[in-house]
Structure 1
Amino acid sequence: MKIREEMTRLVGEYETSGQTQKCFSESRGIGFHKFNYWYRKLQREAAHPGGFHKIECQGARPSGDCRAELVYPNGVVLRIDRPEPELLSRLIRMY
């Protein structure tokens, strides 16, 4: 079985076990930090399937200029004139 499949199965078992991550990982012979890494990784992926965030273009301007607005889950809003794709990518990954 591949590591991802194994860890997905174990995270599912953990969630129904009622144990702490430390007790669960020790009982399965897995290092706590390794298990915690996979738990967080799978939780993030479940929250954002495919790893993509939706970006919508609203009200195209006649001049061709573009503006972007990023709204982070913590409420921070970034408004950017003429955003470059690379800049947007880095800003999205910052959160």
Structure 2
Amino acid sequence: MNLQAEMATLVEEFKTTDLTQKSFSEQKGIGFHKFNYWYRKLRDEQPAGTTGFLPVRTQGSSVPAEAMEVVYPNGVKLRVPARDLSLLSGLIRLY
């Protein structure tokens, strides 16, 4: 296995944990800066359309029909008018 494939495997494993990058890299015996470099490199190489967001749920939502809620991976939640799709699109691209 080459280095990039090995690091990609570690990055995917990291995403399934609740650990910080520093704790994870210490547990795996690799330097934090090395892990962080590969984490960012592989994240930036994601194919278009793979943003890490979850699919939009339209049934059973507690958000009123006239609003949509954007929840970023860091936990920040924003409610925006559902009719303003350009604003919604812009907020999604910010992350």
Q: Give the TM-score normalised by the residue count of structure 1.
A: 0.49
Bigger Rg, which one: 1
Larger fraction in helix: 1
